[in-house]
Amino acid sequence: MKMIPLGLILTATMTIMGCEESAFDREADVIRDTTQNQAETVRDAGQIKAEVIENAADNTVDRAEGTADRIEERTEQKADAIEEQGEAKADAVEEIDPS
């Protein structure tokens, strides 16, 4: 309802002033500018959210890789210790052999 009186006022003003651009053209320009600004805001917000999620994912991957490396290192140490113990037992058995 507010748009109709505003449109009429703009049309009358432009007619009196003799502008080449009609009130409807100006109103259309305002609408275009406003919607383009809104769309840009939405795009920017989406890009920021995507970057935040991407950074969080990168951090998660980095932490997971660090955890995996620590687990691998610990299990490698345990496996080495088992091998060393087994080798020591085998050497001890060989030393017992009287042949």
What pLDDT is recorded for position 90? 94
What pLDDT is recorded for position 6? 60
The percent of residues in the chain predicted with pLDDT above 90, rounded, is: 72
Would residue 19 be called left, alpha or beta, if left means φ above 0 and alpha means ψ between -120 and 50 degrees?
Answer: beta
Cα dihedral sign, 86-91-95-97: positive
More confidently predicted of 16 and 30: 30
Q: Is 86 exposed, middle or buried (0-12, 13-18, 19+ CB in 10 A)?
A: exposed
What number of H helices and E strands is found in the chain? Answer: 2, 0
Centre a 10 Å sphere on the Cβ of residue 71 and count the other Cβ atoms it contains.
10
In three-state secondary structure terms, 97 is coil
The percent of residues in the chain predicted with pLDDT above 70, rounded, is: 80
Residue that the structure tokens 């009287």 belong to = 98
